Amino acid sequence: MPQPDSPALKARNILIVLFVILCVLDATLVVIAQDKWAIGRILLTIVVMHYVLKGRRWAKYLLIGICSLMAVLLTAMIVVLASKLSTVLIGGSLIMVVLCAIIPIFMATSKDLNRYLSLKGQGYS
């Protein structure tokens, strides 16, 4: 099995860093908002990311969908509930919106990341 080259590994590492930042920020906001139900969403997203890194095509598209949906829902939450949310929650949610937009764009457009994923998965292209 061919080994990923340096740019492919760098793209993978960028995705991992973005994802870890997103998860840490999300978990922090969950604790602040005391929203215990969101823990399941975070765990599901982590499991999907695991399969993305294994090169599963379905997981890549599912993670793109999850991040896109989170960006839309967080934006709607900020608009609708801005007067009821603390400044910390609004600021953190805005940062999450940006991360939730960057991650799917990076996954869809990075040729190096797609090369890495194709090497990890069977028949991935």
Residue that wins the pLDDT comparison between 106 and 123: 106
Cα 68 to Cα 71: distance, rounded to the nearest angstrom: 5
Exposure pattern of 22-37 as b/e (b: 16+ CB <10 Å)? bbeebeebbeeeeeee
Mean pLDDT of 109-113: 96
pLDDT digits (tens, 9 = 90+) for 22-76: 999 999 999 998 888 889 999 999 999 999 999 999 999 999 999 999 999 999 9
Q: Amino acid letter at 86?
A: S
Q: Cα angle vertex 99, ends 34, 97, to 5°?
A: 60
